[in-house]
């Protein structure tokens, strides 16, 4: 009789499977088979048979179960013997697959030790052939799982041994195929990934090897908080060195924190190029899948080259554009088309195909929207480098990628800009933009540019600047038959709902319907609007005006996207839209956001710029009131209404003026990281401690309190070094990750100020020696304290928001700091006053950070009904529905025409501002 536990539990006799009567018998047998020829105490059998509390008769039931098991196994049942405190199953190695597996592995190791690798591989493959799945698959209880996991670990070790020996024999292809599947099943095993990376590198597949490494690094960091082992890191550096041997070295800038074991500079830079390619691939592949651009029957996008002297006559479709671009003598391509003709889709698909066919060390195509570029204020290369830094903030990490990696990527020709939407820039900037593009790209750098045909022709007429080396192609209208095929693609046999539309398109090619359905956008909107079986596409035939029909299709987009439909079971909430929003809510909120973008002349919906949707006076007033509130309470507790008014007006006014005339905060692309921060932590701690000592001495505090303040302020200054640049450039910023990281930094910063400044104020209120230096106004004001407070306030303002804030908070500090009031007599008052003072300063810090500024204004907009309370969740849901698209750290409406239409038809804002 043969027993099999390397997979599901099986018992076979003469080739036939022996059925066990109950799960309890299966568990009893599995317990004995996991300990062959060894005594298994009855207590362990009890634990294996009952997951929860065993019954009082458990021992008796175990005996009955073993007795029944013996009977089920027939003659072999006699091999289950009672031995002292338990039972033992006597079996030979040939009768139990786990014993045969171990025998094969031992033999394979012995052969490998004799340098007989071919025989060793054959032996260990025979061992692995015994496995049919995880040990005791489907039968694991808490007791059985531990021993079964040991067997699984032995199998994993055998797989890695086999792969290592086969790599020595040069069988890289087989190793890649087998380990690719194995690493997918065991995503945290470092040795398996190391062997697979080595095999991929041996085949010259450097990009895949690097991608594998970064995937493992992310999983280890997210789940265990550790880095890959040194062997893996060294192998990755070797792969990068082999993949990018010709990357030119750039004169290094002194690194503030040099590493003794740092790899050569060109290796760091080569890694930046490789990881950027991986990041862009993942970013746009996910976006393409979300937009369903790889549908089995997409709309065919055809293009033809615009006739220009010296340029070849070209023509093709989406599948040909990559080869055409690669074959151009100067790789500069301008893509023109009517609104909704598919320019952005072509740019995205071209980017992905260029990445797929990219050779190691070749430039990386990076798809960017031109809407955020102001050519009158920023050079093209500086803007490109800034966008790389925004979307891939880890590139700014000098320790990981060398100094100035984004700028060097751009200036070194390692980036192919794929610039989408010249027409989406404000009209008065297009001429300057094209002129800057013509000057910057005149040296033959690669470029892809998209624009509406009419806008491009107008800009070239006005500026005279033409990308003379570029090949210009124009997207052609959708052919009638292709539109019909796409619209009816999901219809089943015998259904002809779209037949009237098809007949009209064939019969009257100049009708309003035919003119509207010449662009992919309108064809897609038509299918979205009338895709449900209950909808009648024949309604489209009634339209006689093309503009009205386009408006109707645009207006139907959001309601159809938010139609309430039953969700299938097992829906993944991370990739599927939720049903929590109605079409009316979505239309109102999206309409407000569209108007906000139109007024800002932007296509980028960035959460940190949401404050612009609130009038300047209102938003500054909100900030001032929020800051003043707690300072008013502090002043009231310290010395009554007069001091409350002084505190509230000075600090509230400082907040108002700072946010009225100062520069709005941008998010800090950071993450919480402790490694390598010891030296910076110590130096920052020393500076903070010195500040605490000076404050304590200035307010005549006792020595012990001065020391305590020094410790607190030292920590205040030091903890911020843990907010460092990310270390993985293959991660792409998203609106959620930017908000999460910025929120972490903003809260940590404000909390540290809250604690330290609150402690200082409470101590000064309770324990000051009431020393007066330069009293004026009858002793109610001290000039020396005012100077100290003004300097402290100015330092605080400059640290948080530079010039304007330094002046405003300096004045506030001088006004409030010079006030003289009696020390506290009630021991509770200093605690409360210090807490309020700390909260006031914490809020002042918080609103000078992007997340705090966003939080205040989002609460205001949500309270007045213009936005949902969970805005990011709503935007993410709109992205999953295809209403929005994601471009790095910002959202954009699916198409500029959708944004323009929502802004135009939404009702005027009646909510109180």
- Per residue in 151-193, pLDDT (tens digit) is 888 888 899 889 888 888 888 888 888 888 888 888 888 888 8
Q: What region does 782 belong to: left with phi over 0, alpha with psi -120 to 50, or beta?
A: beta
Residue 229 pLDDT more than 90? no
- For the chain, the farthest-separated pair of C-alpha atoms sits apart, in whole angstroms, at 110
Write down the pLDDT at residue 773: 65
Q: What are phi and psi of 507, to 5 degrees?
A: -80, -35
Residue 266 pLDDT more than 70? no
State the Cα–Cα distance between residues 175 and 1, nearest whole angstrom: 35
Helix extents (H) in 203-296: 206-223, 230-243, 265-290
Q: How is residue 626 written in tokens?
A: 């929020």
Pairing state of beta strands 302-305 and 471-475? antiparallel
Measure CA 414 to chain center. 23
Sign of torsion over alpha carbons 343, 592, 584, 885: positive
For 355-392, how does the pLDDT look when each residue is reduced to its tens digit (9 = 90+)? 888 887 788 999 998 888 888 888 888 899 888 888 88
What is the average pLDDT across 759-772? 67
3-state secondary structure of 506: helix
Banded pLDDT at 336 (limits 50, 70, 90):
very high
Q: How is residue 262 written in tokens?
A: 């740092």
State the Cα–Cα distance between residues 192 and 200, nearest whole angstrom: 12
Write down the pLDDT at residue 867: 92
* Secondary structure (DSSP) of 867-899: S-SSHHHHHHHHHHTTSEEEETTEEEESSHHHH
Banded pLDDT at 256 (limits 50, 70, 90):
very low
What is the average pLDDT across 606-622? 87
What is the average pLDDT across 843-852? 85
Q: What region does 726 belong to: left with phi over 0, alpha with psi -120 to 50, or beta?
A: beta
Single out the residue of 528, 542, 463 nearest to residue 490, CA to CA. 528
Residue 794 pLDDT more than 60? yes
Q: How is residue 554 written in tokens?
A: 């645009």
Residue 868 pLDDT more than 90? yes
Residue 221 pLDDT more than 60? yes
- CA R_g for the chain: 35
What is the average pLDDT across 9-18? 79
Q: Which residues contact 143 (CB under 8 A, 6 or more apart)?
A: 31, 44, 47, 48
For 114-125, how does the pLDDT look when each residue is reduced to its tens digit (9 = 90+)? 878 888 889 989
Helix, strand, coil content of the chain in percent (nearest 5)? 60, 10, 30
Write down the pLDDT at residue 726: 47
Are the beta carbons of 446 and 327 closer than 8 angstroms?
A: no
Between 901 and 746, the higher pLDDT residue: 901
Are the beta carbons of 537 and 530 closer than 8 angstroms?
A: yes
Q: Which residues contact 458 (CB under 8 A, 6 or more apart)?
A: none
Q: Calculate the average pLDDT of the chain.
A: 79
Write down the pLDDT at residue 335: 92
Helix extents (H) in 300-374: 321-327, 343-356
What is the average pLDDT across 442-454? 85
Write down the pLDDT at residue 695: 64
Task: From residue 242, give the alpha-carbon distance in Å to each of 146, 190, 238, 532.
Answer: 43, 21, 6, 54
Q: How is residue 734 written in tokens?
A: 């998203």
Choose the weakest-confidence range: 312-326, 482-496, 592-606, 738-752.
482-496
Write down the pLDDT at residue 22: 78
Write down the pLDDT at residue 724: 47
What is the average pLDDT across 810-836? 77
Pairing state of beta strands 447-452 and 471-475? unpaired
State the Cα–Cα distance between residues 599 and 153, nearest whole angstrom: 61
Measure CA 263 to chain center. 28
State the Cα–Cα distance between residues 320 and 200, nearest whole angstrom: 29
Q: What are phi and psi of 446, to 5 degrees?
A: -75, 145
Task: From residue 228, give the alpha-carbon distance in Å to each of 156, 292, 363, 423.
Answer: 19, 35, 28, 46
Q: Which residues contact 273 (CB under 8 A, 6 or more apart)?
A: 244, 247, 361, 364, 409, 414
pTM, full prediction: 0.63
Write down the pLDDT at residue 763: 73
User: What are residue 88's DSSP bridge partners?
Assistant: 39, 81
Q: How far apart are the first and last CA of the chain?
A: 83
Sign of torsion over alpha carbons 461, 467, 469, 475: negative
Write down the pLDDT at residue 861: 92
Task: Give me the torsion for CA of 873, 875, 879, 881, rounded to 10°.
Answer: 80
Between 48 and 437, the higher pLDDT residue: 437
Are the beta carbons of 317 and 303 closer than 8 angstroms?
A: yes
Banded pLDDT at 851 (limits 50, 70, 90):
confident
For 388-407, how does the pLDDT look when each residue is reduced to its tens digit (9 = 90+)? 888 887 787 777 777 778 88
Write down the pLDDT at residue 668: 67
What is the average pLDDT across 623-652? 85
Residue 351 pLDDT more than 80? yes
Residue 240 pLDDT more than 50? yes
Banded pLDDT at 244 (limits 50, 70, 90):
very low
Most confident segment among 135-149, 509-523, 758-772 = 509-523
572 half-sphere exposure, CB direction, 13 A CA radius? 3
């Amino acid at each position: 009789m043969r027993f099999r536990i390397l997979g599901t539990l099986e018992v076979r006799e003469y080739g036939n499977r022996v059925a066990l009567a109950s799960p309890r018998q299966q568990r009893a047998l599995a317990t004995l088979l996991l300990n062959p020829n060894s005594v298994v105490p009855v207590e362990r059998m009890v634990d294996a048979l009952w997951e929860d509390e065993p019954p009082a008769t458990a021992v008796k039931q175990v005996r009955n179960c073993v007795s029944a098991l013996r009977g089920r196994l027939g003659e072999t049942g006699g091999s289950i013997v009672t031995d002292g405190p338990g039972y033992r199953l006597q079996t030979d190695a040939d009768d139990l697959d786990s014993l045969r597996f171990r025998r094969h592995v031992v033999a394979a190791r012995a052969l490998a030790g004799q340098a007989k690798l071919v025989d060793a591989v054959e032996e260990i493959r025979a061992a692995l052939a015994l496995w049919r799945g995880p040990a005791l698959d489907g039968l694991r209880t808490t007791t059985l799982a531990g021993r079964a996991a040991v067997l699984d670990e032995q199998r994993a070790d055998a797989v890695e041994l086999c792969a290592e020996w086969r790599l020595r024999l040069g069988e890289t292809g087989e190793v890649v195929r087998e380990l690719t599947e194995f690493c997918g099943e065991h995503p945290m095993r470092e040795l398996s990934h190391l062997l697979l990376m080595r095999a991929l590198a041996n085949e010259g597949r450097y990009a895949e090897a690097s991608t594998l490494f970064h995937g493992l690094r992310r999983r280890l960091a997210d789940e265990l908080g550790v880095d890959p082992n040194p062997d893996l890191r060294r192998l990755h550096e070797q792969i990068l060195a082999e993949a990018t041997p010709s990357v030119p070295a750039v004169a290094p800038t002194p690194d503030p924190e040099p590493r003794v074991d740092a790899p050569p500079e060109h290796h760091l830079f080569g890694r930046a190029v490789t990881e950027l390619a991986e990041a862009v691939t993942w970013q746009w592949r996910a976006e393409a899948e979300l937009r369903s651009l790889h549908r089995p029957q997409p709309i065919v996008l055809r293009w033809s080259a615009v006739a220009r002297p010296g340029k070849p006559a070209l023509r093709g479709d989406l599948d040909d554009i990559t080869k055409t671009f690669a074959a151009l003598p100067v790789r500069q391509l301008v893509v023109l088309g009517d609104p909704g003709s598919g320019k952005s889709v072509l740019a995205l698909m071209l980017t992905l195909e260029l990445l797929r066919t990219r050779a190691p060390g070749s430039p990386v195509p990076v798809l960017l929207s031109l809407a955020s570029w102001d050519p009158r204020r920023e050079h093209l290369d500086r803007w490109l480098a800034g966008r790389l830094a925004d979307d891939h903030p880890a590139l700014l990490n000098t320790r990981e990628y060398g100094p100035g990696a984004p700028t060097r990527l751009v200036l070194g020709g390692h980036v192919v800009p794929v610039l989408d939407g010249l027409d989406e820039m404000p009209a008065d900037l297009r001429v300057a933009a094209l002129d800057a593009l013509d000057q910057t790209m005149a040296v033959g750098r690669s470029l892809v540019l998209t624009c509406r045909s009419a806008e491009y022709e107008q800009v070239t007429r006005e500026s005279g600047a033409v990308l003379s080396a570029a090949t210009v192609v124009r997207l052609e209208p959708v052919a009638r038959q292709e539109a019909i095929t796409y619209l009816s693609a999901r219809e089943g046999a015998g259904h002809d709902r779209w037949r009237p539309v098809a007949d009209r398109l064939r019969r009257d090619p100049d009708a309003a319907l035919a003119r509207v359905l010449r662009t992919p956008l309108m064809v897609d909107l038509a299918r979205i609007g009338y895709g449900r079986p209950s909808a009648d596409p024949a309604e489209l035939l009634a339209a006689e005006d093309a503009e009205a029909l386009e408006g109707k299709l645009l207006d139907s987009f959001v309601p159809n996207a938010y139609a309430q439909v039953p969700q299938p079971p097992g829906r993944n909430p991370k990739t599927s839209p939720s049903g929590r929003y109605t079409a009316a809510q979505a239309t109102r909120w999206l309409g407000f956001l569209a108007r906000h973008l139109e007024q800002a002349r932007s296509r980028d919906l960035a959460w940190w710029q949401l404050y612009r949707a609130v009038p300047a006076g209102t938003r500054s007033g909100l900030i001032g009131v929020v800051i003043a509130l707690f300072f008013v309470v502090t002043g009231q507790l310290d010395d009554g209404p007069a001091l409350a008014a002084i505190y509230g007006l000075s600090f509230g006014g400082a907040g108002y003026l700072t946010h009225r005339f100062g520069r709005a905060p941008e998010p800090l692309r950071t993450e919480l990281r402790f490694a390598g921060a010891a030296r910076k932590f110590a130096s920052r701690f020393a500076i903070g401690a010195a500040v605490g000592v000076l404050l304590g001495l200035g307010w005549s505090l006792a020595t012990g309190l001065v020391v305590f303040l020094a410790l607190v302020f030292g920590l205040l200054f030091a903890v911020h070094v843990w907010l460092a640049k990310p270390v993985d450039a293959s991660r792409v910023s998203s609106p959620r990750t930017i908000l999460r990281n910025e929120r972490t930094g903003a809260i940590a910063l404000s909390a540290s100020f809250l604690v330290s400044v609150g402690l200082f104020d409470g101590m000064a209120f309770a324990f000051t020696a009431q020393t007066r230096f330069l009293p004026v106004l009858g002793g109610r004001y001290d000039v020396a304290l005012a100077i100290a407070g003004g300097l402290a306030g100015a330092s605080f303002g400059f640290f948080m928001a530079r010039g304007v804030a330094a002046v405003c908070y300096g004045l506030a500090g001088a006004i409030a700091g010079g006030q003289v009031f009696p020390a506290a007599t009630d021991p509770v008052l200093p605690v409360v006053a210090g807490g309020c003072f700390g909260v006031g300063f914490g809020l002042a810090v918080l609103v000078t950070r992007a997340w705090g500024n966003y939080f205040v204004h989002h609460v205001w907009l949500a309270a007045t009904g213009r936005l949902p309370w969970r805005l990011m969740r709503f935007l993410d849901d709109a992205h999953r529905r295809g209403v929005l698209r994601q471009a790095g750290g910002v959202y954009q409406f699916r198409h500029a025409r959708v944004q323009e239409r929502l802004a135009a038809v939404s009702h005027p804002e009646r909510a109180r501002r």
